[in-house]
């Protein structure tokens, strides 16, 4: 992803892969929040914030669908998870993916999806998902002890961050990032201005 020097949002594609290198899912239109628009104290080297709204998503089998609600996604280059804040009418729902740290090249951001997820509902209830998928894939994809240990360690860290309400679990910040992006897109007559 290219960082805009003039404070403009930069467009990018997000691609997730499985451990064996096979494509898992692609989000075709996302916008990176420029460093000058991040909250004070947020280091742009330690958190990449991306926004999408009604973006086309391609599954590995070729099926396409559009996301239903605006999303603010936090990629943390030093962590083995990413967090998607889904801005729903009833509140913000967080979908947390256990995944490799992100890698970016040009306007493409990639990561490896490690199956385990945690969903945090607007009332704060956190639920782990897809443990069975993780267990099946760690054998079939041969994750290895180092990857398994890292995933379990990062899962504990993620649970602690959720419990503490630590970054990036901040509804107001997620809504702020979305609203400032929407305002900019409307002002520019951007592709996602409606």
Q: Where in the sequence numbering do the catalytic residues fall?
A: 25
Q: How many CA atoms lie within 13 A of 52 on its CB side?
A: 19
CA distance 134 to 26: 20
Nearest to 129 by CA among 113, 116, 138: 116
Contact 31, 181 (CB under 8 A): yes
Neighbours of 128 (CB within 10 A): 15
The Cα angle at residue 192 between residues 97 and 60, in degrees rounded to 5? 40
CA distance 139 to 142: 5
CA distance 33 to 27: 16
Pairing state of beta strands 10-17 and 108-120? parallel
């Amino acid at each position: 992803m290219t960082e805009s020097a003039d404070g403009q949002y930069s467009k990018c594609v997000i691609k997730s892969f499985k451990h064996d290198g096979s494509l898992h899912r692609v989000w075709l239109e996302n916008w990176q929040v420029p460093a000058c628009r991040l909250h004070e104290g947020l280091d742009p080297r330690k958190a990449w914030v991306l926004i999408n709204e009604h973006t086309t998503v391609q599954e590995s089998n070729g099926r396409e669908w559009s996301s239903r609600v605006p999303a603010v996604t936090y990629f943390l280059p030093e962590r083995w998870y990413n967090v998607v804040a889904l801005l729903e009418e009833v509140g913000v729902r967080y979908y947390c993916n256990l995944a490799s740290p992100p890698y970016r090249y040009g306007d493409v951001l990639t990561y490896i999806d490690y199956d385990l997820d945690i969903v945090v509902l607007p009332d704060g209830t956190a639920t782990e998902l897809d443990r069975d998928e993780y267990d099946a894939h760690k054998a079939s994809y041969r994750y290895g002890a180092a990857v398994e240990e890292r995933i379990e360690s990062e899962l504990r860290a993620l649970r602690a961050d959720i419990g503490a309400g630590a970054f990036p679990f901040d509804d107001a910040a997620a809504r702020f990032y979305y609203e400032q992006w929407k305002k900019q897109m409307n002002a520019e007559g951007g592709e996602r201005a409606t």
